[in-house]
Amino acid sequence: MTDFARTKSMFHLPEGVIYLDGNSLGPLPKAATARVARTVQDEWGEMLITGWNKAGWMALPSSTGDRIARLIGAAPGTVVMGDTLSIKVYQALASALEMNPERRVILSDTGNFPSDLYIADGLVRTLGDGYELRTVAPEEVLEAIDATVAVTLITEVDYRTGRRHDMKAITEKAHAAGAIAVWDLAHSAGAVPVDLAGCDVDFAVGCTYKYLNSGPGGPAFIYVAPKHAETARPALSGWLGHEAPFAFDLDYRPGRGIERMRVGTPPILQLAALDASLDIWDLADMADVRAKSIELTQLFIELVEAACPALALASPRDPAIRGSQVSFRHAQGYAIMQALIARGVIGDFRAPDILRFGFTPLYIGEEEVRGAVAILKEIMDGNLWDRPEYKTRARVT
Amino acid sequence: MTDFARTKSMFHLPEGVIYLDGNSLGPLPKAATARVARTVQDEWGEMLITGWNKAGWMALPSSTGDRIARLIGAAPGTVVMGDTLSIKVYQALASALEMNPERRVILSDTGNFPSDLYIADGLVRTLGDGYELRTVAPEEVLEAIDATVAVTLITEVDYRTGRRHDMKAITEKAHAAGAIAVWDLAHSAGAVPVDLAGCDVDFAVGCTYKYLNSGPGGPAFIYVAPKHAETARPALSGWLGHEAPFAFDLDYRPGRGIERMRVGTPPILQLAALDASLDIWDLADMADVRAKSIELTQLFIELVEAACPALALASPRDPAIRGSQVSFRHAQGYAIMQALIARGVIGDFRAPDILRFGFTPLYIGEEEVRGAVAILKEIMDGNLWDRPEYKTRARVT
């Protein structure tokens, strides 16, 4: 049984803050401070270039990838870290399209995170030749999979509503129709149990700065199913994905298995922070995390609906098809969120009208849920959001 | 006049080490330790998600880009940071090819860093349709530019020999032939004065962990000439390159100018380290750096040739066509470099037979040059490299 009191004690959480935005940027694992400082001073400072060997830098993208693999139902040796999620989406898509050369359609949905759609659109334009990005409503994905679809590109959990796709059903339908299934786990990894191997997923990608708490701009991951790992051609074929990077051959030969999905020099300071965060994840069982996440999200919905009738639930009521976040709609959502943040309850706002709250059992419990709702109720009862400074200030994120 | 004693005092250089590998991984700026710690603890730890605004994280890729722009002859607002050099090569190449749709040839040379060639090869395979990567010997680039060439992809300074291409002549010839010029500044930025604007370069890319001392896996940069900045289509079209990333529109609209070349979420810990390093670079004048670099490389060549006749100069003798490194060839180069490293002189080895030494005036002076040659002479005179452990140990870098 995961000891959530222990995992909570391993995070730095600022005084007076209830942090319900770990689905956007996870908080600082206390050990990351020393881990990053060691990487800077003892490794970069003292070992200099020899850190690539002596400090194990070159192995970090694989060793951290293996630890993430456990959380997403993947075998060791099938996940590697690097770049950003957008880049990994491109890499997976381009590789997948090439495995299905007779077809021209990438199928996605309008609930996908825009960057996935932008990247797919960019790839389609680069390819020309009749390639097409086709988007349908999230509810229509399953029936839209037909014999024209080369690749499905679906984000399992909707970033706005938390609605969760049926990974197994969509992947099965994709395969039955002769398509390759690419899954984006941005709001799944560390949020819900994922079974990539059991669902026979072909490619998966995800980021680590949300539920996996690797810090701002932490690296992304990519998974390639073992059955494709020795044949997939990495469209972004960088030197560290070469079979022998330090032979400096002029011709590209893909590395063994998932290693070929490396591209350039890995970001060691970010990987060090991720490594420290994964020490906490090593203590967690995803089934326990999921059970507590459902408890917290159910409680939050129940309390908010009782206390704040003006807020309309935007997330599925059924926890089976909901990720680890809860969203409510309100025409003044932006101002309400600003008022919450001013009072130490940090969630976020997604245009046009969504208030988004993430529930992350490693460091959030019932006390935080009740505290957040009490403050939300005060704001709604007193119209405390109705102040110019909450309505006009531009926020970047 | 740049005060090199002052700049040297701002780096952490381990006791007993003569570091001639700053062309591979620059040493730690002392201030980077506190700068990164502040980013981890005071920003990530205390501000959490609000750090994107409050701590200025979202602006870092542009503000650090502007500081690098000064070092490479580019105007403010023409350089942005992100990803790795390999990714930025892909982005520049794909965008450039699209500006020249009637042509199919990427011209590069066999002295280019292999990752550039791998990436170009990968792009050519993704595009199909007759696209071709054509490579010639470094000396033959100028005459190989003809009316079939869509894009030239040239690394200004050869990573093995330090041989420097004529950026102005090649770019002029490329333009005269109707081609787009893409330059890789991996071994130029912070090493030699670069005049991107004066040479009318179309695209340039580079990394920051070498002469710019941003630490292991520091982010890359991309430059787009102002005349192309509002028309170039970023093939890697990620959400942070969108005109309004936080509108979460379903359709991609490129951002203003160079901002469109952003892709995913920027690596803030690595950017913090870069930012600290650029505080030192702000004190430096590239003309002074170049003058001292020539002094140091000339002295090194002279001393090594006098002391170690078995080593054959692999770099151009004329400093005008040499970057800020000196390379020598020896059949036992690998073992010799291991013997040097064991004695605290850190350079590196590049297959098959190159000993490579980087000269970085911000922290290397005549004393280090003389010290390194004295140790090299001892090793060569005594055949001290001829030991099994120097010949067999596998090194990653």
Residue A39 lies in a domain: no
Q: For chain B, positions 276-335, list CB contacts with chain A under 8 A.
A: none
A156 and A219 in a single domain? The answer is yes
In whole angstroms, give the CA distance from residue B133 to residue B118.
10
Shortest Cα–Cα distance, A29 to chain B (Å): 8
Residues of A marked as binding for pyridoxal 5'-phosphate?
85-86, 113-116, 155, 184, 187, 209, 239, 265
A139 and A91 in a single domain? The answer is yes
Nearest to B54 by CA among A395, A217, A334, A341: A395
Query: Each residue of A23-51: pLDDT tens digit?
Result: 999 999 999 999 999 999 999 999 999 99
Mean pLDDT of B206-234: 98
B159 and B178 in a single domain? The answer is yes
Q: Report pLDDT for B397.
A: 47
Nearest to A112 by CA among A133, A87, A126, A81: A133
Query: Each residue of B68-93: pLDDT tens digit?
Result: 999 999 999 999 999 999 999 999 99
**Residue A8 scores a pLDDT above 50:** yes
Residue B50 lies in a domain: no
Reported as type and span, the H/E element at residue B58 is: none
Give ipTM to 2 decimals. Answer: 0.97
- Chain A residues with CB under 8 Å of B19 CB are 48
Domain tally, chain A: 2
In the structure, what pLDDT confidence band is assigned to residue A392 with cuts at 50, 70 and 90? confident
Query: Each residue of A109-135: pLDDT tens digit?
Result: 999 999 999 999 999 999 999 999 999
Phi, psi dihedrals of residue B49, rounded to the nearest 5°: -60, -30
Task: Tell me if chain B has a CB within 8 Å of the CB of A60.
Answer: no
A361: tokens are 């059992």
Nearest to A325 by CA among A200, A95, A158, A84: A158
A304 and A226 in a single domain? The answer is no
Q: Report pLDDT for A394.
A: 58
B302 and B182 in a single domain? The answer is no
Task: Tell me if chain B has a CB within 8 Å of the CB of A24.
Answer: yes
Residue A48 lies in a domain: no
B87 to A28: CB separation less than 8 angstroms, yes or no? no
Residue A50 lies in a domain: no
Query: Each residue of A53-89: pLDDT tens digit?
Result: 999 999 999 999 999 999 999 999 999 999 999 999 9
Of B19, B90, B203, B209, catalytic: B209
Q: Report pLDDT for A397.
A: 47
Mutation to test the A interface, candidates B93, B262, B275, B397, most A Cβ within 10 Å: B397
A169 and A264 in a single domain? The answer is yes
Reported as type and span, the H/E element at residue A107 is: strand A105-109
Q: Report pLDDT for B393.
A: 60
B191 and B305 in a single domain? The answer is no
Residue B48 lies in a domain: no
Picking from A257, A281, A305, the residue at the C-terminal end of a domain is: A281
Task: Tell me if chain A has a CB within 8 Å of the CB of B44.
Answer: yes
Residue B336 sits in a domain of what CATH number?
Answer: 3.90.1150.10
A177 and A311 in a single domain? The answer is no
Residue B108 lies in a domain: yes
A109 and A166 in a single domain? The answer is yes
Query: Each residue of A85-97: pLDDT tens digit?
Result: 999 999 999 999 9
Q: Report pLDDT for B392.
A: 75
Mean pLDDT of B118-130: 96
A84 and A199 in a single domain? The answer is yes
Start-to-end CA distance of chain B, whole Å, equals: 35
Asked whether the bond before B352 is cis by omega within 30 degrees of 0, the reply is yes
A183 and A102 in a single domain? The answer is yes
Residue B167 lies in a domain: yes
In whole angstroms, give the CA distance from residue A23 to residue A4.
18
In whole angstroms, give the CA distance from residue B237 to residue B175.
27
Picking from B257, B281, B305, the residue at the C-terminal end of a domain is: B281
Picking from A281, A307, A322, the residue at the C-terminal end of a domain is: A281
The range of the structural domain enclosing residue A377 comes to 4-29+285-392
Mean of pLDDT over chain A = 97
Task: Tell me if chain B has a CB within 8 Å of the CB of A219.
Answer: yes
**Residue B396 scores a pLDDT above 90:** no
**Residue A355 scores a pLDDT above 60:** yes
Residue A166 lies in a domain: yes
Shortest Cα–Cα distance, A251 to chain B (Å): 7
Whole-angstrom Cα Rg for chain B: 21
- Chain A residues with CB under 8 Å of B118 CB are 237-239, 241-242, 252
B40 to A52: CB separation less than 8 angstroms, yes or no? no
A239 to B86: CB separation less than 8 angstroms, yes or no? yes
What count of other Cβ atoms lies within 10 Å of the Cβ of residue B342? 15
B142 and B242 in a single domain? The answer is yes
Task: Tell me if chain B has a CB within 8 Å of the CB of A25.
Answer: yes
- Chain B residues with CB under 8 Å of A218 CB are 267
- Chain B residues with CB under 8 Å of A87 CB are 83, 87, 236, 238, 263-264
Residue A219 sits in a domain of what CATH number?
Answer: 3.40.640.10
